[in-house]
Amino acid sequence: MAVAVKPQTIEISADPMVPVPYRVLRVRRETPDTFTLELEALTSAFGHPSPVQTGEGSGVRAFAPGQFNMLYLFGVGEVPISISGDPAQPEVLVHTVRAVGAVTRAICALKRDEIVGVRGPFGSAWPVAEAVGNDIVIVAGGVGLAPLRPAIYHLLNHRHEYGRVALLYGARTPKDMLYKRELSEWRGRFDIQVEVTVDAARPDEWRGNVGVVTTLISRANFDPFHTTALVCGPEVMMRFTILELQKRELRDDQIYISMERNMKCAIGFCGHCQYGPNFVCKDGPVFRFDKVRELFGKREI
């Protein structure tokens, strides 16, 4: 009878509208309102006990840095959340969630062994392949570091393929910073420039920079003619970051941004996420800036 279950399983997980159940392995508190969840597919429930096996129906899905999943809580709702883990280790699905409303608050309150539905991965990716041979400058604000972390893992896993790498990160206060332990580990490496800044701090709690993240751009080491910039954060932050990158002679087609406009179906059906001629869910969330320049910064689209 087990044989009869198998094709059905594949059908279920192949339907992009049907969430697949994942179990919470671990929850880590990053800041007072932001949590990182590690999830594992409930593969055994579908008759697939062997854990690491990527592909349709195995429960383990490869993803590209920058892609997102729809996380579904029964009776509460569904929200798009970027994947924040290492693309080389897709067997553990990692998401970093900031509690801002009903669904994200409920996700942040999940405990070990509880179940969350997952659809995905969806969307476009950071151009880590196209950027091979270039210097990379990454600019992140607040929780915007989460969708960039898979790209950082990829760059560090393939460090020899890239030129200089600079990571510039701004948060409101030292307490609002994500991934503090990792940031200081990366700072200790010789092959990546890490600059972190906060809006204000007491000298006894913070030894880094104070000032807004855009002020770090003039300090980053990169060759403007051979650089790819990856930017993620609130839209105002991205707008001013792009201005500073342009001052450093970067062209718009060297700059990539991630647009977190809200969505529903995530597969290009409903039109909920429409952004000019683009659907954020399938053309985005990562866009090359010259492709969305005309729309960017508009009040309502």
Ligand X SMILES: Cc1cc2nc3c(=O)[nH]c(=O)nc-3n(C[C@H](O)[C@H](O)[C@H](O)COP(=O)(O)OP(=O)(O)OC[C@H]3O[C@@H](n4cnc5c(N)ncnc54)[C@H](O)[C@@H]3O)c2cc1C
| Contact call for residue 121 and another protein (CB under 8 A) | no
Cβ–Cβ < 8 Å for 72, 117: yes
For residue 11, what are the β-bridge partners? none
Q: Are strands 227-232 and 34-41 parallel, antiparallel or unpaired?
A: unpaired
| Contact call for residue 177 and ligand X (CB under 6 A) | no
| Residues 95-134 close enough to bind ligand X by CB under 6 A | 96-98, 100-104
Distance of CA 45 to the CA centre of its chain: 28
Binding piece for ligand FES, criterion CB under 6 A, among 2-10, 25-33, 242-250, 272-280: 272-280
- The secondary structure element, H or E, covering residue 123 is none
How is 42-80 classified by DSSP, letter by letter? Answer: -GGGGT------BSTTSSB----TT-EEEEEETTTEEEE
Number of residues in contact with another protein under rule CB under 8 A: 36
From another protein, ligand FES, ligand X, none, which one binds at residue 147 (CB under 5 to 8 Å depending on kind)?
A: ligand X
- The secondary structure element, H or E, covering residue 7 is helix 2-14
For residue 96, what are the β-bridge partners? 36
Rounded to the nearest whole angstrom, what is the least distance from the CB of residue 283 to ligand FES in the complex? 9
Q: What is the CA radius of gyration of the chain?
A: 19
Rounded to the nearest whole angstrom, what is the least distance from the CB of residue 60 to ligand X in the complex? 20
Give me the 30-59 binding string for ligand X, x by CB under 6 A, dash otherwise.
Answer: ------------------------------
- For ligand X, give the closer residue by CB, 186 or 275: 275
End-to-end CA distance of the chain: 52
Rounded to the nearest whole angstrom, what is the least distance from the CB of residue 264 to ligand FES in the complex? 5
For residue 115, what are the β-bridge partners? 23
| Contact call for residue 200 and another protein (CB under 8 A) | yes
Binding piece for ligand FES, criterion CB under 6 A, among 6-14, 19-27, 251-259, 262-270: 262-270
Nearest residue to 188 (alpha-carbon basis) of 177, 196, 197, 200: 196
- For another protein, give the closer residue by CB, 113 or 300: 300
Task: Using CB under 8 A, pick the residue from 23, 172, 175, 282 that binds another protein.
Answer: 172
Binding piece for ligand X, criterion CB under 6 A, among 4-12, 74-82, 172-180, 287-295: 74-82
Cβ–Cβ < 8 Å for 161, 133: yes
Cα dist from 88 to 54, 85, 97, 105, 124, whole Å: 11, 9, 21, 29, 18
From another protein, ligand X, ligand FES, none, which one binds at residue 204 (CB under 5 to 8 Å depending on kind)?
A: another protein
- For another protein, give the closer residue by CB, 16 or 77: 77
Rounded to the nearest whole angstrom, what is the least distance from the CB of residue 123 to ligand X in the complex? 6
Rounded to the nearest whole angstrom, what is the least distance from the CB of residue 271 to ligand FES in the complex? 5
Binding piece for another protein, criterion CB under 8 A, among 9-17, 41-49, 51-59, 235-243: 235-243
Cβ–Cβ < 8 Å for 30, 82: no
3-state secondary structure of 217: helix
Binding piece for another protein, criterion CB under 8 A, among 20-28, 117-125, 164-172, 183-191: 164-172
